[in-house]
Structure 1
């Protein structure tokens, strides 16, 4: 028996807090739950939520070190967002000049998906939850 109920949040440290805040709030549509400036750390903490209750904590820190994400590095690989229709999601992102990879089909689940990047080049994914390729 597992005591884990699911994921509550993921945390992201942004190199440019304002740019990342704009991306996650104004482009991806996250709702701001709370924004706190922690003067002792010279850091913002922005709590964001999506309609299903999943959350992102967006942080700013002075001079954070870069983290390699490609080639595929050990550690967290990417963050996948659930969408109803991957083509509509891609069309939406292109309005904001966010480039997406070609839509592919997961060979194991037959679900459609695509990858794109946040302002810090972190790999993000749109994963279609309701459609199946026939």
Structure 2
């Protein structure tokens, strides 16, 4: 029996909560499950629906910036599955989001591209 069942959530810390909330909900179209302000931490937590998993968006005053892009140790990037890559890229570009040229994964033959969120966190679109 496998120890792990599925991915539950990914947590991101943003520098500008309203800007990142707009990006993840209005540009990427993720549905808000819950939004909580935690007074003791002066922090927002936004739970977003991503299929069977969640994306948690946090704001913490004074959080340090990511040390490098994208080759710092730790999480390299977050990839989102899409049905049609060109349409997804066109949607992002219509919102002013720059995307790298579409490439093909040499191991799977699937196409993908990278883009960044408002804090320059590396995100990927991966065609199913």
Q: Shift of the alpha carbon at 1:71?
A: 5.3
Q: Distance in 2 between matches of 1:118 and 1:3?
A: 32
Residue segments in structure 1 that go unaligned for 5+ positions in a row = 130-134
Q: Shift of the alpha carbon at 1:53?
A: 1.9
Q: Shift of the alpha carbon at 1:68?
A: 1.8
Aligned partner of residue 123 in structure 2, secondary structure: strand
User: After TM superposition, which residue ranges in structure 1, 4 or more long, deviate above 2 angstroms?
Assistant: none
Q: Shift of the alpha carbon at 1:2?
A: 1.6
Give the match for residue 9 of structure 1: 9
Aligned partner of residue 101 in structure 1, secondary structure: coil
Q: Shift of the alpha carbon at 1:69?
A: 3.3
Query: Is residue 2:14 matched to residue 1:27?
Result: no
Query: Is residue 2:88 matched to residue 1:94?
Result: no
Verify the 8 A CA contact 2:112 2:124 in the aligned structure 1: yes
Give the match for residue 107 of structure 1: 106
Verify the 8 A CA contact 1:78 1:125 in the aligned structure 2: yes
Q: Distance in 1 between matches of 2:30 and 2:95?
A: 15
TM-score (norm 2): 0.97
TM-score (norm 1): 0.92
Query: Is residue 2:40 matched to residue 1:40?
Result: yes
Q: Deviation per CA, 1:71-93, whole angstroms, max 9, x where unpaired? A: 51111000000000111100010
Comparing 9-18 with 59-68, which one deviates more in the overlay? 59-68
Aligned length: 128
Q: Shift of the alpha carbon at 1:113?
A: 0.1
Q: Distance in 2 between matches of 1:59 and 1:10?
A: 11
Give the match for residue 117 of structure 1: 116
